Structure 1
Amino acid sequence: MPADSATAPGVLVPVEVHFDDLDALGLLHNARYPLLVERAWGAYWAGHGFGYEGDWAAAEDACNAVRELRIGYERPVTRAGGYAVHLWLDRLGTTGLTYGFRFCSADGATTYARGSRVLVRLDAATLRPAPWSARFRDAGRALLRPGG
């Protein structure tokens, strides 16, 4: 992960932490961070016309699998409310991509966790790696970190 990920290009996607996302100590449970990041990515891509509606063959670029997930927790989230996920692409390959993320305050100023995730685009019939579509690659370029 780049040390300057707080200033990386990308987008801030609003997310909501609910009371039932907190653990017995009143902290956002560690397993909820990746879930909230996934929801932010889903919202971002849905806004660009990509999504899954029950048919993997029709899903095209939304037919993908996680190869790797890394996350580091920097400070606890101690209350429910509005937050954001800062999303960007570190690498956009032919069949895979690596994205970076920060779970942060709604304005992006405070970082609670940061990480990266590697996705592989799959062919729905064979579950083997398949190339991203040109439309997906075009949409992703807007989030691509220089040199990625």
Structure 2
Amino acid sequence: MSEPARTALFRMPMALRWRDLDAFNHVNNSTFLTFLEEARIRWFESLQREWLNDTMMPLLAAVQLNYRAPIPYPADVEVSLFADRAGNTSVTIGHRIESPDGATLYADGHVVMVWIDPSTGRPIPLPDAVREMANAASAP
């Protein structure tokens, strides 16, 4: 059974670079994480509200990544992010890496981001911009 369609809170096209490849001439598995990181940072910046400063910063707490198919070179991909859950101090962000036409799923899964006070290393409430966007995107 396929998963129900979700509305992406952010989509980002990416062109592969030669340096992304491994000895088998496809994208190295660790590079998938770099693609996801870049998409998350671009999403946070697109909020045009504060999500990072001297008193708050996101910390990657968990990653779940299913490798579904190798990404060949040359190719373009699209990274999609989804709001899976917004908690008090964390947000679970679903992700998919696909071909631009959506015909090939290369990877999917989710990450958990926790906001902390960098001076103490302790969790703090999610920034309003992140919470509002995640709640709006996950609403039915």
TM-score (norm 1): 0.82
Which of 113, 129, 134 is the matching residue for 1:135?
129
Aligned mates of 2:43, 2:98 — CA distance in 1: 16
* Percent identity (aligned): 27
Aligned mates of 1:90, 1:41 — CA distance in 2: 14
**1:70 Cα deviation after fit:** 0.9
Q: Does 2:32 align with 1:38?
A: no
Aligned mates of 1:133, 1:43 — CA distance in 2: 16
User: Secondary structure at the residue paired with 1:36?
Assistant: helix
Q: Does 2:17 align with 1:18?
A: yes
Aligned mates of 1:30, 1:118 — CA distance in 2: 19
Which of 101, 126, 134 is the matching residue for 2:95?
101
Gaps of 5+ in 1: none
Gaps of 5+ in 2: none
Which region of structure 1 is more displaced relative to structure 2, 100-109 or 31-40?
100-109
Which region of structure 1 is more displaced relative to structure 2, 21-30 or 109-118?
109-118
Match of 1:83 in 2: 77
Q: Does 2:59 align with 1:65?
A: yes
TM-score (norm 2): 0.87
1:90-112: CA deviations, max 9, x gaps?
11001011111111112333210
Aligned mates of 1:115, 1:27 — CA distance in 2: 20
Aligned mates of 1:32, 1:104 — CA distance in 2: 14
